Structure 1
Amino acid sequence: MSALVLLLVVIGSWVPGFVGTAAAAVLPWCGLALALVAVLALFSARRVLLVILLPALVWALAIFPSLPGFGAAPSADAAPLTVVSQNVRAHSGGAAASAAELAGHGADVIALTELDADSLTAARDALAAEYPYSYAIGTVAVWSRSPLANAQPLTLGLDWRRALRVEVQTPAAAVAVYVMHAASVRPGHQQDRDTMLSGIADAVASDPAESIIVVGDFNAASADPALGAIRSQLDWVRPTDGTLGMTWPAALPLARIDQVFVRGLDVQSSTTQRAGNSDHLATVTSVSVRGGDSDPAP
């Protein structure tokens, strides 16, 4: 019976809507449950191992796209770029601490989401000296050591602004950076999130930029079917630290809902980091920017 339940959960992660969203969140932990059942079977009824073989195979196929990866070796003719992103939790009073800690680790671009007016001001004050270029709209903002160009607010199909696009003018080439904070999900209320995820996929699909990185709080686990559209347009950045890159909740991360996607960039490393008192870990992604890219269109 337990094997059947696990099989249903795994298959559910391929179903669009709330079922798929919920199943994707618990999908990584189904592997632990399967391992526990297998261990118990070794000491009680080994024939049960045959029963869990199918759920284990289906789980492996479902989880494979979300498994850790390996970073590419730095290229001699490419410029390094480190982009960090964190949901700093509105009204937590920790935006300044998050910004300072992330800057202290040498980030070139810092993206923060779920900013209220006070936390935006605090982050600006903390980053002004080292990150002279910035752009903010709604609850999202980005700071950069390199100049920014063609900054744009994005609604992504909704009537409020929780996303942006800028072009970071690195020494090698311009990189289009998208920052988003997807709407929340709860039973019966996930259409806004799905609309935003579809909207960001449409935006990058029509973006002629050769180098793109998308970061932020997607409110969707790595295997969520709602990420299918953007996965078809960009490469999902796999954690390179040997983990699944869980980001939430920070005290005991159980799901990776803060995502990173790229196109035209070589990922050197990707990991997570605690910063401030947010309930999200930050994503830290280092890429190589190849020279000779054409400038992204506005």
Structure 2
Amino acid sequence: MTPPRRIFTHRITDHGSDSPSVAGSEIFPYWSFTKTALAICALRMVEQGLLSLDMPLAGHDFSLRQLLNHTSGLPDYGALPAYREAVARNEEPWPATRLLEVAMAQGRLFGPGAGWAYSNVGYLLVRDLTEQASGQSFAQNIKLLICDPLGLGSIALASSRQQFGRVLWGGAQSYHPGWVYHGCLTGTAADAARLLHGLFAGRLLGPEMLAQMCQCQPLGGALPGRPWTECGYGLGVMSGSWGAAGRVIGHTGGGPFSVNAVYHFPDMDQPLTVASFTDGQEEGIAEHAAAARAHPA
């Protein structure tokens, strides 16, 4: 018999947390919600004049903006058979140089700005850019630019099996977080919600840069099994509508054994943010749980 699914959520408004009884000190992998945090770091460096959003990167024909909104034309590595087989065998992660060689052997998908394709390779390059521009590691940038300003004590970058061992789900025991090449943040559901809510409260980026981040490229309508009625992608954020819940901005993430959905709901009478974490691989379950917490039937 399949064990019952465990769902952890945390909801926060401008007035504080709202009944966080179903989530506490449990630590979860943030998976691709890490992209939102990475984009915040990159955009903060644009504000500081350390990076350019629209100039072509040195040695490349695409810009930081195109990496952040997945319009660079770079391929992905997640569906590569050799990658998936190595992860399934619980091998040690490949060196980044090998990963890039294998991924780029697929060829460019299109010219910069000529299409849209989700690319973890692109976010690996964003991580490299932020580290080069700041002279600090991604973990240090996350601490200085996000965690310290918001007082987020649980969030940490997991780069070893030992660091990943604090994750709640049992599947973490047979997974090396290094297989997430742009990095995999871990932390509580509460801190995930506080991170995104702090962003939209204007505590991490200025109004102009936040508006740039939220500029959405429309990608389509309803998605089967998921709450999306309209969907698109900004700079490190998924954006669209979830029916009666209205507009949503945030990110869904998933790995071999768990999924999450962290979203801001700006159209509510009182804007709020919900983080939802569950086991399994069905992203729609985490998204529907977030929608239900934001807009109870």
Larger % of strand: which? 1
Q: TM-score, normalised by structure 1?
A: 0.27
Larger % of helix: which? 2
Asked which structure has the greater CA Rg, the reply is 1
